[in-house]
Amino acid sequence: MVPGMRRATLRSYGLRALVFNLLALFALALPAAAAAADRPVILAFGDSLTHGYGLAGPETFPVQLEQALAAQGIAAKVVNAGVSGDTSAGGLARLDWALSDPAGKPDLVIIELGANDALRGIDPASTEANLDQILSRIEAQGIAVLLTGMKAPPNMGADYVAAFDAIFPRLAEKHRVAFYPFFLDGVAADPALNQADGMHPNGAGVARIVDRITPAVISALRQRNPA
């Protein structure tokens, strides 16, 4: 073989090897890309109960929920969109920003708002109007919703408690969304499951919340995507 032909042949082999390697890498990347595309995204949209006031990162609701779903074979990504101190009005004001992730819109939004409205004695009609708009805006984007309920403290008076507590089931029925009646079910007023302030769950309290709400989250995801 003459030197020129040999060099051309070597270049040809080198090019073929490069193409082969690139195709192999592409083939390996396809399953990972498909898995990422199939991974449901859940936006946990709420106040300090979602954000994790007073908790270490691994103890927070979004992290524990993601782990609980993984244990059920659901590799979801749970995004922490909680803001401590947020009211329903604050949630409405930042909703569009929370939904504007460049990676794409979420598959499910868990709405956990209202506790601070009740603590501040905000008119229940105002809270309901804000939550109504939040639900409408999310629905307009074709995103599934799990609405979680909240209860007013008894010291707000019987009339206020009745008006406030009725907001959540009424909105769930109006918008036909998945509904979890009380976010703090099994945790509220239990000193062993709350921090010293008596209002915010500790890590064990969040674990109790996650244990109870996970079936509702899975159900809401399946309604969105039966597969």
225 vs 212: CA distance, rounded Å: 22
Residue 94 has which token pair?
Answer: 């930042």
Give the residue among 106, 100, 109 at the shortest CA–CA distance from 50.
109
The DSSP symbol for 59 reads: G
Q: Which residues does residue 144 pair with via DSSP β-bridges, in sequence order? A: 108
Q: Which positions are annotated as active-site residues?
A: 48, 197, 200
Indicate the SS3 state at residue 82.
Answer: strand
**DSSP per residue over 92-138, as a string?**
HHHHHHHT--TT---SEEEEE--HHHHHTT--HHHHHHHHHHHHHHH
**Do 87 and 117 meet the contact criterion of CB atoms below 8 Å apart?**
yes
